């Protein structure tokens, strides 16, 4: 029977009304879902969550997967994982997000086994769930399990590979970072930045540069990582150049430059960086304290310290450390006595202050009085004993650590290797290096390898030291080659010394140190023709020797004397005292080492007089005329002390009965009763 026109019109009206009603119902459902989700996220207590859930169960959106995922997340936030799992199991329409949310909640609550079981039970795994499981293991520092998950993934995309690189970086498995990076088909700036961080942490500054040059684009993280690499190797000039060339900066960029200037004692530049910072936390203030302190501006450092808002134990500890570094023992003691609450770092600073200043007994007393022990306190005492020339005692302290229940860390073994180096104990050093790796599962730092190179050189295993320097999994830095060169010089191996000097020159062509040391080595061997060649090279390339300066602490203030300094107000008294001292130490066997004077046009008498112009001797004489007899003297020298000054200071300690402490750019020397803590090898 044919439908009438009125019948068709009625059907159309009813159809349109139904469509409108359906749309209205969908809109109401969406609004209801969003309202419930908002209530769950804003719930201030578990009771409130349960009330909202009860209303959800009575609503028309009780089976909405998106809403139930929010409920799982909120239960997880309150640690109600049983309830969260019940929601997941009762869901009519589970999706990948539901499973991922449950895995994440287990992980955030430390329930990794349940997270893994849920992961294994997933009907279909998407890329998100793999990364969620990967991050779960990463958060709990389980790189081995994270690697198992990563290797089991059906496909490594950019996100998962970058995440795995970050996991490996956090656990110092940097050699594996390169493997993941090389396997990546696609690389973005984040992946490149992770690789740069790995190279920076390993000290591979050359690889940082090479990798950065391959990047299609840089961001501020790239620049910050490169700045960190330059700062770590002491290349302040390169850091400044990059900072000036790249206009995009953030607070971290400024902070890195502040830290770099502080470490180098560039107080004016550090102050300029500090003034540019918008947000200044306590750590940044302490960098400024360090900058002034290392620039020899103790008064300014104290003024900055006084301005630090809301000082915590960090600020007090840093000021104590800086006084200790500058051999200002009395100032360090005064700060330590004023500290509102002694922290572990403060105790460590005082152990180091007494050790550096040559007061072994007080270093022991502070160590025994320490209210809180940890591996850091033991490490400081081990390092202190090494500086004091008690290296064998330092090595024995490892047993004490183990007996007291403090497992050694990487710093412990670094200090122990330095102790072995001080005593030329090659076998013990090698055993400790193996123990660190085999028994404690530690991956050595570059510093551990460098310490082994120095130890082998000091123990006269020069060629083995060279092989280790070239084969270690790090690029040898300037300090490593310099230590080996000093060993070659001490053992008079000019052939190998020349090869090592070339390595130093390749790292820094404009540094006069390798040229000067090589020339002195040739002069000591009587090869004046070689000395002349080196001098011509230096003259032709415009390389000039950096002349040393010294500072001596007298009556709480530093006095600066330069080489050949004749402008001091007490110059006549200084010179008279120095001549008298030379006469006394001459009777004990001192003879000026004129081979150190490279000017062939000087007479022997002129050479001897030029040695008296060295800033260390002038500082010593000034200290003697300015203090009471037998009063300890503390001197800081800007470069490595020469053998003639070292011999003079050693014998001066004998004839004057004084403890003479000298900090040069190589180590701390304690001269007492005619002997030096370095055993005449530095």
| Model confidence band, residue 136 (pLDDT cutoffs 50, 70, 90) | confident
Q: Are strands 633-637 and 660-663 parallel, antiparallel or unpaired?
A: parallel
In terms of Cα–Cα distance, which of 131, 214, 199 is closest to 167? 131
CA distances from 80 to 38, 58, 72, 283 (A): 19, 22, 9, 39
Let me know whether 533 and 656 are in one domain. Answer: no
Let me know whether 523 and 463 are in one domain. Answer: yes
Q: Are strands 675-676 and 660-663 parallel, antiparallel or unpaired?
A: unpaired
State both tokens at 416: 């122990």
Per-residue burial over 581-614, b = 16 or more CB atoms within 10 Å of its CB, e = otherwise: bbeebeeeebebbbbbbbeeeeeeeebbebbbbb
Per-residue burial over 485-513, b = 16 or more CB atoms within 10 Å of its CB, e = otherwise: bbbbbbbebbebbbebbebbbebeeeeeb
Distance CA 420, CA 596 (A): 30
Residue 633 contacts residue 623 (beta carbons within 8 Å)? yes
What rounded mean pLDDT belongs to the chain?
A: 88
Mean pLDDT of 559-568: 88
Q: Kindly state whether residue 22 falls inside one of the protein's structural domains.
A: no
Tens-digit pLDDT profile for residues 314-353: 999 999 999 998 899 999 999 999 988 888 999 999 999 9
User: Is 226 a residue whose pLDDT tops 80?
Assistant: yes
Let me know whether 466 and 392 are in one domain. Answer: yes
- Tokens 């800007």 correspond to 638
Q: Kindly state whether residue 4 falls inside one of the protein's structural domains.
A: no
Residue 622 contacts residue 570 (beta carbons within 8 Å)? yes
Let me know whether 570 and 523 are in one domain. Answer: no
Tens-digit pLDDT profile for residues 629-675: 999 999 999 888 999 999 999 999 999 999 999 999 888 999 999 99
Q: Which residue has the higher pLDDT, 617 or 11?
A: 617
User: Is 571 a residue whose pLDDT tops 60?
Assistant: yes
Quote the longest CA-to-CA distance of the chain.
140
Distance CA 391, CA 145 (A): 41
Sequence-ordered strand ranges (E) for 466-624: 549-554, 557-562
Distance CA 50, CA 52 (A): 5
User: Is 9 a residue whose pLDDT tops 70?
Assistant: no
Let me know whether 340 and 357 are in one domain. Answer: yes
Q: Kindly state whether residue 12 falls inside one of the protein's structural domains.
A: no
State both tokens at 11: 């059907």
- Tokens 């090592």 correspond to 500
* Cβ neighbours, 10 Å, residue 662: 28
Distance CA 216, CA 222 (A): 12
* Cβ neighbours, 10 Å, residue 185: 8
Mean pLDDT of 543-566: 86
User: Is 20 a residue whose pLDDT tops 50?
Assistant: no
DSSP 126: -
Q: Kindly state whether residue 247 falls inside one of the protein's structural domains.
A: no
Q: Kindly state whether residue 198 falls inside one of the protein's structural domains.
A: yes
- In this structure, of 71-75, 108-112, 433-437, 599-603, the range with the lowest mean pLDDT score is 599-603
| Cα of 237 vs its chain's centroid, Å | 19
Which CATH number goes with the domain that contains 406? 1.25.40
Sequence-ordered strand ranges (E) for 327-397: none
Sequence-ordered strand ranges (E) for 467-590: 549-554, 557-562
Task: Quickly list H helices, 43-142.
Answer: 46-57, 65-77, 81-90, 96-108, 112-121, 127-139
Distance CA 360, CA 368 (A): 12
pLDDT score at 382: 95
Residue 525 contacts residue 265 (beta carbons within 8 Å)? no
pLDDT score at 13: 46
- In this structure, of 40-44, 225-229, 312-316, the range with the lowest mean pLDDT score is 40-44
Let me know whether 482 and 586 are in one domain. Answer: no
Mean pLDDT of 558-563: 89
User: Is 3 a residue whose pLDDT tops 70?
Assistant: no
With a pLDDT cut of 90, the percent of the chain lying above it is 47
Tens-digit pLDDT profile for residues 195-213: 999 888 877 777 898 899 9
Tens-digit pLDDT profile for residues 336-395: 999 888 889 999 999 999 999 999 999 999 999 987 888 999 999 999 999 988 888 998
Q: At which of 184, 214, 244 does a domain end?
A: 214
Q: Which residues pair with 668 in a beta bridge?
A: 663
Which CATH number goes with the domain that contains 108? 1.25.40.10
Q: At which of 517, 541, 565 does a domain end?
A: 541
Any residues with CB less than 8 A from the CB of 578 and at least 6 apart, and which? 612, 617, 618, 620, 621
pLDDT score at 26: 54
Q: Are strands 633-637 and 557-562 parallel, antiparallel or unpaired?
A: unpaired
Quote the domain boundaries for residue 130: 31-214
State both tokens at 184: 């990546």
Residue 166 contacts residue 138 (beta carbons within 8 Å)? yes
Let me know whether 434 and 566 are in one domain. Answer: no
Any residues with CB less than 8 A from the CB of 4 and at least 6 apart, and which? none
**Number of independent structural domains in the chain:** 3
pLDDT score at 616: 95
With a pLDDT cut of 70, the percent of the chain lying above it is 95
Q: What is the dihedral of CA 485, 490, 492, 498, to 10 degrees?
A: 10
DSSP for 380-400, written as a single string: HHHHHHHHTT-HHHHHHHHHH
Let me know whether 330 and 437 are in one domain. Answer: yes
State both tokens at 129: 């769930």
Q: Which residue has the higher pLDDT, 265 or 581?
A: 581
Q: Kindly state whether residue 472 falls inside one of the protein's structural domains.
A: yes
Distance CA 676, CA 672 (A): 6
DSSP 311: -
| Model confidence band, residue 76 (pLDDT cutoffs 50, 70, 90) | confident
User: Is 291 a residue whose pLDDT tops 90?
Assistant: yes
Let me know whether 497 and 622 are in one domain. Answer: no
DSSP 595: G
User: Is 14 a residue whose pLDDT tops 50?
Assistant: no
Distance CA 430, CA 443 (A): 15
Distance CA 279, CA 92 (A): 51
Distance CA 168, CA 320 (A): 36
Q: Are strands 557-562 and 549-554 parallel, antiparallel or unpaired?
A: antiparallel
Q: At which of 541, 558, 593 does a domain end?
A: 541
DSSP for 87-102, written as a single string: HHHH-SS--HHHHHHH
pLDDT score at 23: 52
Q: Kindly state whether residue 230 falls inside one of the protein's structural domains.
A: no
User: Is 1 a residue whose pLDDT tops 60?
Assistant: no
Distance CA 382, CA 399 (A): 12
| Model confidence band, residue 171 (pLDDT cutoffs 50, 70, 90) | low
pLDDT score at 11: 54
Q: Kindly state whether residue 223 falls inside one of the protein's structural domains.
A: no
Let me know whether 112 and 136 are in one domain. Answer: yes
Q: SS3 of 663, please? A: strand
Let me know whether 523 and 563 are in one domain. Answer: no
pLDDT score at 173: 67
Let me know whether 520 and 564 are in one domain. Answer: no
Residue 448 contacts residue 478 (beta carbons within 8 Å)? no
| Model confidence band, residue 17 (pLDDT cutoffs 50, 70, 90) | very low
| Model confidence band, residue 12 (pLDDT cutoffs 50, 70, 90) | low
Dihedral sign (CA 186, 190, 196, 202) = negative
| Model confidence band, residue 28 (pLDDT cutoffs 50, 70, 90) | low
User: Is 472 a residue whose pLDDT tops 50?
Assistant: yes
Residue 412 contacts residue 381 (beta carbons within 8 Å)? no
* Cβ neighbours, 10 Å, residue 57: 8
């Amino acid at each position: 029977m044919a439908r009438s026109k009125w019948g068709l019109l009625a059907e159309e009206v009813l159809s349109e009304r139904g469509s409108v009603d359906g749309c209205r119902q969908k809109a109401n459902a969406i609004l209801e879902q969003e309202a419930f989700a908002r209530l769950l996220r804003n719930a201030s207590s578990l009771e409130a969550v349960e009330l909202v859930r009860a209303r959800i169960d009575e609503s028309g959106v009780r089976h909405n997967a998106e809403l139930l995922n929010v409920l799982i997340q909120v239960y997880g936030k309150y640690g109600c994982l049983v309830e969260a799992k019940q929601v997941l199991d009762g869901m009519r329409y589970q999706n990948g997000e539901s499973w991922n949310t449950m895995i994440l909640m287990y992980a955030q609550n430390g329930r990794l086994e349940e997270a893994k079981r849920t992961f294994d039970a997933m009907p279909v795994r998407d890329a998100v769930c793999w990364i969620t499981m990967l991050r779960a293991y990463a958060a709990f520092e389980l790189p081995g399990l994270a690697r198992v998950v990563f290797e089991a993934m059906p496909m490594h995309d950019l996100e998962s590979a970058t995440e795995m690189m970050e996991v490996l970086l956090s656990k110092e498995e940097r050699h594996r970072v390169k493997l993941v990076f090389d396997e990546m088909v696609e690389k973005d700036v984040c992946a490149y930045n992770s690789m740069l961080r790995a190279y920076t942490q390993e000290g591979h500054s050359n690889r940082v540069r090479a990798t950065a040059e391959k990047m299609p684009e840089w961001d501020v993280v790239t620049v910050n990582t490169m700045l960190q690499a330059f700062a770590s190797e002491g290349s302040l000039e390169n850091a400044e150049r990059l900072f000036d060339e790249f206009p995009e900066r953030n607070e971290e960029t400024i902070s890195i430059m502040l830290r770099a200037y502080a470490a180098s004692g560039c107080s004016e530049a550090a102050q300029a960086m500090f003034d540019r910072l918008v947000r200044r936390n306590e750590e940044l203030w302490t960098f400024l304290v360090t900058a002034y302190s290392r620039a020899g501006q103790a008064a300014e450092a104290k003024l900055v310290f006084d301005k630090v808002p809301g000082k915590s134990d960090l600020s007090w500890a840093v000021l104590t450390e800086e006084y200790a570094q500058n051999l200002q023992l009395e100032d360090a003691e005064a700060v330590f006595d004023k500290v509102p609450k002694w922290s572990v770092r403060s105790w460590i600073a005082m152990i180091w202050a007494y050790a550096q200043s040559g007061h072994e007994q007080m270093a022991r007393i502070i160590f025994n009085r320490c209210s809180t022990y940890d591996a850091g306190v033991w490490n400081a005492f081990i390092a202190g004993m090494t500086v004091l020339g008690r290296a064998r005692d330092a090595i024995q302290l490892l047993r004490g650590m183990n007996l007291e229940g403090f497992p050694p860390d990487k710093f412990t073994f670094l200090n122990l290797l330095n102790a072995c180096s001080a005593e030329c104990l090659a076998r013990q050093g090698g055993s400790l290096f193996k123990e660190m790796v085999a028994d404690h599962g530690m991956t050595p730092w570059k510093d551990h390898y460098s310490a082994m190179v120095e130890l082998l050189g000091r123990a006269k295993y020069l060629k083995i030291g060279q092989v280790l320097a070239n084969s270690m999994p790090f690029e040898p830095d300037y300090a490593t080659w310099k230590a080996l060169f000093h060993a070659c010089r001490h053992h008079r191996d000019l052939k190998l010394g020349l090869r090592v000097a070339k390595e130093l020159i390749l790292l820094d062509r404009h540094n006069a140190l390798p040229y000067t040391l090589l020339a002195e080595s040739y002069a000591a061997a009587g090869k004046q023709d070689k000395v002349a060649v080196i001098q011509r090279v230096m003259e032709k390339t415009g390389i000039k020797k950096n002349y040393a300066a010294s500072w001596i602490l007298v009556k709480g203030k530093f006095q600066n004397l330069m080489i050949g300094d004749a402008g001091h107000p007490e110059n006549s008294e200084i010179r008279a005292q120095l001549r008298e001292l030379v006469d006394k130490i001459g009777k004990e066997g001192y003879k000026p080492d004129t081979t150190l004077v490279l000017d062939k046009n000087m007479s022997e008498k002129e050479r001897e007089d030029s040695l008296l112009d060295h800033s260390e001797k002038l500082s010593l004489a000034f200290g003697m005329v300015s203090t009471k007899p037998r009063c300890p003297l503390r001197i800081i020298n800007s470069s490595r002390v020469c053998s003639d000054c070292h011999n003079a200071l050693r014998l001066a300690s004998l004839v004057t009965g004084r403890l003479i402490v000298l900090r040069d750019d190589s180590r701390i020397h304690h001269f007492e009763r005619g002997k030096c803590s370095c055993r005449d090898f530095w």
